[in-house]
Amino acid sequence: MKYNPIAGLALGLGLAAGPALAQDPVLYTSNPVPAYEAVQAAVKGALDTDLGVITGGSGVLLRRIEAEQGNVQGDVFWSSSANTLGAFEALFEAYASPELAAIPEALRYPGDLFQPTNIHLVTIMVNTDLLDGATAPTSWAELADPVWKGRVIMPDPANSSTGYTIAWGLSKLLDEQTYKAVVANVVTSGSSSAVPKGVAMGEYAVGLTFETNSYAYIDGGQTELSLAYPSEGTFQTVEFSGLIKGAPAGETAQKTIDTLLSQDAQIALLKAAFRRPSRADITVSEHVGLPELSAVAVFPVDEAEAAASRDAFLAAWAELPKAGDAE
Amino acid sequence: MTAAQFRTPWFWLSLLALMLLSLFVLYPLLNILTASFLGDGPSGWMRVIETPKYRQAIANTLILASAVTVICTLIGVPLAYVTARYTFPGKALIALLPLITLVIPEVIAAQTWLMMLGNNGLITKFLREFGIRLPSFYGWFGLITSMSFIYYTYVYIGTVAAISKFDAQLEEAAQSLGTAPVLSRLRVMLPVILPTILASALLVFTMAVGNFAISMILSHRLPLLSVATYQAAVAEGASDITMQSTLASVSVLIVMSVLFFNRWIVRRGRFEIVQGRGARPAALRGLGGLAVGRPSGAVVVISLLPLVTIAIGAFTRSRGPVMQWGEWTFDNLIRVFVTAPGPLVNSLVYAGVATFISIVFSALVSYLVVKKPNILTPWIDYVSAVPLALSGTVLGVGLLATFNSGWLSLSGTASIIVLAYVVRRMPFGMRNGQAVLHNIPNSLEEASISLGVPPVQSFFKVVLPVMLPAVASAAILTWTTTVAELSASILVYSGGRETLPIQIFRLIDSGLMAYASAYGLVLVAVILIPIIVATKVFGIDVFSRR
């Protein structure tokens, strides 16, 4: 072995540092790094434990929880919308966190099976450097103009719940002709994070994405970017956390959810990841350059109908011509 | 087969090795193949045939892999030829080539290409001022360009090795028989080096088929097999493993047919160079030197650009996803080592353990196959080569399907990551080990045994020390490729077990380039340091041209 320094090193490390996370709570999250790091810091501060994190798309995480039912690995899931979570109710345990008292009744999930953590609003993100003389769109209908053909990017509804929220909402809000014209202009992306990145890097003039993703680039100092909340009303999604049934961390798992919903953590999340809080006792504009929810027009969508019609809607969506198709 | 064979320890070791290989290689593969036919829901194969998106994905993957293979050959072969046969200004730079491909994570390469050739890229903007509009980098243009500039090195390395083994006397003989120099080279050299070129080209083809990182970032709306497989595995609402298994099976079939084609070519015509005397490189100076040096240098510089980008990015301050170019900081690196060192520690531990297991297993098993053949060893040989036909995504899908639950539930543990590493990289150690053992005369070991040392001890005392230098270089190569592994581990990792490549992929996906660059730079260091230590301190020729 003395000839093989690598193997020796490996063996040494292997004996010395087997990662052991048995007692610490584990968070299964579809949220990006700055968001879950803010939560990790809040949990460290409030509970003095290290919050383990596993990330992935909501779908893969939920199915992983399903697969791990006999041997539960995670404690808390965060976050997804009601229509995604609806199919996985059996994997979770209701938990009426005391922090829910500060959250409007309208946002809460029946029986408190899930806890509302934040609200997503869809924004039209514009890179003004790429307008080429066109006016920045401030309404959905304006996106039907052929001038936007191939210059608008949105997440693929088949792979992203953000994309599904937008596509479904547009189909309900716009008349059929305008809807088809808008769809004909958009390019869809398999990854929802590619949308704000594509606009910020100057790949696309317009991106349809949640404010949490688009505002990060404006906060970073890219002055050529702007956000619009469409005048006809934008689409809202409430994001929930859930206590996984049989969570190995037990009471600590519940306390992790309490921490996640606490005012401190929600302000930290707003500042670090621009997550609009579910709590009613936080003034958003005090912390970031985003408008209050009351100042934004929201178009109401029947989420149950959206979830039930998913397969049919996606099949119809796949048939519609889009700007990215011609290759 | 005689009863005597059962009495040796070697037979039982062979049996054990075959059982391990069956469990960890064949069984997952079998699971994918059966799930594609018998899985829940409508038959996977019917779904592939009926869904235009999947049919397109297969066709696109084949077209992409063919295009990349052709371009890699067109870049790699001439570059190898001029490097092997001439000296010219800047040649030393080209010696760096094998290193470059090994150390640059593909995710970072793809991102760098976007910075140069995306809609807002430096080159794109420059050309636009002259009225030249490049096609969108997302899709064919980007996929072909970035894969070609990563994979051409494999053609280059293969061809350089073949040309330097080629006996220059053959060429001289042809010339003295009256053939013109250029023609004689082509006529005499080409048949000899062609199988090697073809083999490296086919390797590029299989890698392009299995490519995950670049495809994921650049394919956007172009359906590709590896991306479709990954998305089927992680899609919301997909509740059965039928689709991902079927798509993985398609990829296995493609790669298998390529490998059989390769075997067939190799068997068909074989020219043996008995005792080669490589040609001395001729010096090219003046205009000739520039004409060769410039383009060759350009190729290398382009391949190096991602490395420069991550080195700068790692020390650049960022606010959220926005890079504040020109403002320098150590924050990103402090994060890697202090705030969030998990990925670094995990990578070192998992890749270290996996390298150790791979090397021990492949040394032992190649010894069995070459020196102690019995009825089991040919099977061991075949089965241990099977992972070569599996892309990382396919392997990940197979391991997930097999070890997610049931009597051997590994999901959520570190061992499934180590397992993925070992299965994916062990065949390289095997091939290396067998090549070395063929060159060790049996008489050495026989002498030891006849002097009274028991067989197993003889292996450790006589054979192993002779193998060691080669084993060490195989260990380093295994380490470098293992520590950079992404496509299988991203499917099987669990909470708190992120490795450096997984972390980089996630950070780039979230748009956090500065952090990604810092982890990327550390990954490059983790790969490079063992290579440098091995070559400088221990004098091991890692990239032996043989």
Alpha carbon distance B493, B410 (integer Å)? 10
All residues of chain A having their beta carbon less than 8 Å from the beta carbon of residue B324 are 220-221
pLDDT of residue A302 exceeding 50, the answer is: yes
Task: Using only the alpha carbons of chain A, give its radius of gyration.
Answer: 21
User: What pLDDT sits at residue B272?
Assistant: 53
Residue of chain A nearest B513, judged by CA positions: A197
Residue of chain B nearest A155, judged by CA positions: B220
Say which residues have a Cβ less than 8 Å from residue A59's Cβ, sequence separation at least 6: A84, B234, B235, B236, B237, B238
Number of H helices, E strands in chain B: 28, 4
User: What pLDDT sits at residue A130?
Assistant: 87
A64 vs chain B: nearest CA distance in angstroms?
Answer: 9
Q: Which of A3, A57, A193 sits opposite B468 (nearest CB)?
A: A3
Say which residues have a Cβ less than 8 Å from residue A46's Cβ, sequence separation at least 6: A255, A259, A262, A264, A265
Three-class secondary structure of residue A127 per DSSP: strand
User: What pLDDT sits at residue A254?
Assistant: 95
DSSP line for B440-465: S-HHHHHHHHHTT--HHHHIIIIIHH
Residue A244's φ and ψ, nearest 5 degrees, are -70, 135
**What mean pLDDT do residues A270-291 have?**
94
Chain centroid to CA B193: how far? 22
Q: Which of B352, B411, B515 sits opposite A67 (nearest CB)?
A: B411
The verdict on whether omega for the bond into residue A79 sits within 30 degrees of 0, i.e. cis, is yes
User: What pLDDT sits at residue A14?
Assistant: 38
Q: Which of B236, B475, B509 sits opposite A6 (nearest CB)?
A: B475
Inspect the interface and report whether the beta carbons of A57 and B236 lie closer than 8 Å: yes
Note the pTM of the prediction, 2 decimals.
0.81
Instruction: Please give the residue that has the higher pLDDT: either B288 or A115.
Output: A115
All residues of chain A having their beta carbon less than 8 Å from the beta carbon of residue B119 are 201-204
Alpha carbon distance A140, A206 (integer Å)? 12
Give the tens place of pLDDT for each residue, A78-98. Answer: 988 887 888 899 999 999 999
CA dihedral A113, A114, A116, A121 (to 10 degrees): -120
DSSP state of B281: P
DSSP line for A228-274: E--TT-B-EEEEEEEEETT-TTTHHHHHHHHHHHSHHHHHHHHHHH-
Closest to B152 in 3D by CA, of B217, B223, B73: B73
Closest to A165 in 3D by CA, of A318, A316, A300, A284: A300
Interface test with B, best of A201, A213, A270 (most B CBs within 10 A): A201
* Cβ A59 vs Cβ B238: under 8 Å: yes
Characterize B25-64 residue by residue with b for buried, 16 or more Cβ atoms within 10 angstroms of its Cβ, and e for exposed.
bbbbbebbbebbeebeeeebeebbeeeeebebbbebbeeb
- ipTM value > 0.95: no
Instruction: Please give the residue that has the higher pLDDT: either B44 or A248.
Output: A248
* Cβ A217 vs Cβ B320: under 8 Å: yes
Percent of chain A at pLDDT above 90? 61
User: What pLDDT sits at residue A17?
Assistant: 36
* Cβ A235 vs Cβ A299: under 8 Å: yes
Interface test with A, best of B220, B353, B408 (most A CBs within 10 A): B220
Alpha carbon distance B451, B444 (integer Å)? 11
Given pLDDT bands bounded at 50, 70 and 90, which one contains residue A1?
A: very low
Residue of chain A nearest B352, judged by CA positions: A10
User: What pLDDT sits at residue A11?
Assistant: 39
Alpha carbon distance A290, A298 (integer Å)? 15
Give the tens place of pLDDT for each residue, A200-217. Answer: 888 899 999 999 989 999
A232 vs chain B: nearest CA distance in angstroms?
Answer: 29
Alpha carbon distance A9, B349 (integer Å)? 9
User: What pLDDT sits at residue B541?
Assistant: 64
Q: What is the pLDDT along chain B (546 residues), one digit of tens a residue?
A: 456 666 678 888 889 999 999 999 999 999 888 888 877 767 778 888 888 888 999 999 999 999 999 999 999 898 888 888 888 777 777 767 766 776 777 877 887 787 778 766 778 778 878 878 778 788 898 899 989 988 888 888 888 878 877 766 777 777 777 766 677 777 777 777 888 888 889 889 999 999 998 998 888 778 899 988 888 887 644 456 788 888 999 999 998 888 888 878 767 655 555 555 566 677 766 677 777 777 777 777 777 778 888 888 899 998 888 888 788 999 999 989 988 888 999 999 999 999 999 999 988 888 888 888 888 888 888 888 888 888 888 999 889 888 876 677 777 788 999 999 999 988 888 887 887 787 788 888 888 888 888 878 888 888 888 888 778 888 888 898 899 899 899 888 876 788 999 998 888 877 788 888 899 999 989 988 888 888 777 776 665 443
